[in-house]
Amino acid sequence: MASNQLLSVNSNISEVECQAEPVRAIVGCSSQSILSKLRKMVRAEPMISVIAACANGQDLLAACDKLVPELLILDGRITGPDAFTVAALVQAKHRARVVLISENVCNASPEAELIATEFRAQPFHQECLNLKVRQTLELKSTQRNDRETSGHLGSKATRHLPRTQDAELAANLGSQNEKRRNGAEQRMMRKLLVRDSGVVKVVPFDDIEWVDAAGDYMCVHAKGETLVMRSTLRELMEKLDADIFARVHRSTIVNVEKIVSLTPLPKGAGLLELSVGKTLKVSRNYRDAVKDLFQ
């Protein structure tokens, strides 16, 4: 009897595996060496289907919006925007699994959550990719079962409703879901992802006091801590909210909500005092922009 039960269980597992559809994946990769590795790995994993490949962050976000992948395989060095911004937005909007990779690094963030605050280096190998594919398949199965259960209960609840009420209920549910998705995306857009000393930290805009440039690096000052990220000042300004941050010097950005006073200096320059006690110089080239903040 036990052997017959075991045979039945194994038959059911095989049937599920045969019926499972491949995981829809998008690859974001700017490195030919990494892309070659990925192609070999994908060929060795039958349950993954690559539906698009992009070389920069902007094209990647557009492809994700159009194709809605279940898995995003992402080169950690991709730019425009960077990999961590892309990962956060895709998770917030599409709830896709994300695998961040580089020459020697592989990591994945939790499903159904915004990007994790830290990424730790792990070996990158075939088993890692296989594991993420299996986890995504399991997640798909769970979500499908949840939808079927929800639909069954919903049909019972609305079976005796007039058609107009049924339509209104569906419209309200759709509107609520859209608000949740937009809210998650907006919350993520109000945060800066800073990769500092091998760790990615999520810094809310409201916590940032000022930013100063040091060559090709930015020093982000937030709540008494200084985080260093590789970026130009112009690139960083594109990521920040223009209603909150202003450039006051060729090498300085300030959170305008942290300003408590402005002291004019000769030749059009000035000094800004922040609520944290820091004093920053305003160059004459940016004095008009600073004056507008106080009007």
- Total-model pTM: 0.44
CATH number where 34 lies: 3.40.50.2300
Same domain for 16 and 126, yes or no, is yes
Q: What confidence score (pLDDT) does residue 190 get?
A: 76
Q: Tokens in use for 221? A: 């000052």
* DSSP assigned state of 226: E
Same domain for 13 and 77, yes or no, is yes
Is 99 part of any domain?
Answer: yes
Number of structural domains, the chain?
3
Low-confidence ranges of the chain (pLDDT < 50): 1-18, 103-123, 158, 160-161, 163-166, 169-170, 173, 177, 179-188
For β-strands 48-54 and 71-75, DSSP reports them as unpaired
Q: Tokens in use for 141? A: 């199965």
Range of the domain at 118: 2-135
Q: Which one-letter amino acid corresponds to residue 40?
A: K
Is 154 part of any domain?
Answer: no
Same domain for 269 and 230, yes or no, is yes
Is 177 part of any domain?
Answer: yes
Hunting for tokens 């960077």 — which residue is that?
82
Same domain for 119 and 227, yes or no, is no
Same domain for 113 and 205, yes or no, is no
Same domain for 10 and 94, yes or no, is yes
Is 83 part of any domain?
Answer: yes
Is 235 part of any domain?
Answer: yes
In whole angstroms, what is the distance from residue 97 CA to residue 69 CA? 9
Q: What confidence score (pLDDT) does residue 294 get?
A: 66
Q: Any residues with CB less than 8 A from the CB of 176 and at least 6 apart, and which?
A: none
Same domain for 8 and 75, yes or no, is yes
**Predicted confidence (pLDDT) per residue in 259-286, tens digit:** 998 888 887 788 889 999 999 888 888 8
Is 255 part of any domain?
Answer: yes
* DSSP assigned state of 284: G
**Predicted confidence (pLDDT) per residue in 48-100, tens digit:** 888 988 888 888 988 999 999 988 888 777 877 777 778 877 877 787 888 77
Same domain for 183 and 210, yes or no, is no
Is 110 part of any domain?
Answer: yes
Same domain for 164 and 229, yes or no, is no
Same domain for 223 and 177, yes or no, is no
Same domain for 22 and 109, yes or no, is yes
Same domain for 35 and 119, yes or no, is yes
